A and B are shown apart, each in its own frame.
Chain A
Amino acid sequence: MDDHELRALLRHALDRAQASALSTLDAEIDVKQCLRDAYRQAGLDPGLAEQTDDTDRRLNNR
């Protein structure tokens, strides 16, 4: 098996595994909580994680 064939074989397996991992992660990870943690780790107010486009629009309409 040459490098090209080996790469194709591995790519197929890794792509399938990545798609499967992504599906699992989407179901298992609480992204909003992770976002709050990211603000905390950056030394910022975790409440900033709640800011959305709607918040922006309200602020801009004041």
Chain B
Amino acid sequence: MSTDGRAQELRLSEKDITAFNEFYEGNLTQLMAAVRRLGAGQQQAMNVAQHAMVLLLRHFPTVGRSEGERYSYVKLIAIRHYYGGLAEAEKERKAIADADWIRPSRSTDDVDGERRIIQLLERLSPKQQAVVALFVDGYTPSETAALLGQPAATVSSNLRHGLTKLRIYLEQLQSQQDQAGDQEGG
């Protein structure tokens, strides 16, 4: 197969195309999973990851030489793109919010602890959720601010409110689980 005219315009060599294909096939789902970690749904994660990969393709000859450098590039693009599109997601989330969704199920108490925590995270606003996920990954507020192109004060505020809400949700959950245990015991 020969490179077509438009690839020539982008100055993609045969070697670049082969390297991009290998990178894409080896990293697409990992990138999607990383975006989902920030709070995105599957289709949203697909769109964001694809956007980052297309940008990588367009700039492939000039973006990094190693797989690690290329992955850092697409992850940065994906995080920024996801965070930048959160205003609409936030409106949707508010529209479908269900205030009394915490209903501890006695049958799954022991097997589903992680899922419950994820559900607690999903109660945060999308921007709080993304900032908290980056905090969990070890980013400081100032690093997160630089990563997202946001004022440090905004990031710190989102993080502080997000963590406060999580503590309250965790206390509520613990209290409901204690009550369910008391009823079972009594």
Contacts and interface: CB of A to CB of B under 8 A. Distances in A.
Contacts of A14: 37, 118, 121, 133, 136
Interface residues of A, number: 40
B21 A44 contact: no
Query: Contact residue range for chain B?
Result: 35 or more
B99 interface: no
Contact of A7 (B12, B14, B37, B136): B136
A51 B54 contact: no
B166 interface: yes
A41 B174 CA distance: 48
Contacts of B33: 18, 21-22, 25
A62 B37 CA distance: 46
Contact of B14 (A6, A35, A50, A59): A59
Contacts of B114: 12-13, 16-17
B117 A31 contact: no
B174 to A, nearest CB: 10
A56 B15 contact: yes
Given A17-B114, A48-B17, A38 B3 contact: no
A1 B167 contact: yes
Nearest to A58: B1
Contacts of A25: 29, 32-33, 42
A9 B135 CA distance: 12
A48 B3 CA distance: 7
Nearest to A9: B117
B29 A29 contact: yes
Contacts of A26: 29
Nearest to A1: B167
A51 to B, nearest CB: 5
Interface of B: 1, 3-4, 6-7, 10, 12, 14-15, 17-18, 21-22, 24-25, 28-30, 32-34, 36-37, 42, 46, 50, 53-54, 57-58, 113-115, 117-118, 121, 132-133, 135-137, 163, 166-167, 170
A-B pairs with lowest CB-CB distance, top 7 = A13-B117, A25-B29, A22-B33, A13-B114, A45-B4, A16-B114, A21-B33
Interface of A: 1, 3, 6-7, 9-14, 16-18, 21-22, 25-26, 29, 31-32, 34-35, 37-39, 41-45, 47-53, 55-56, 59
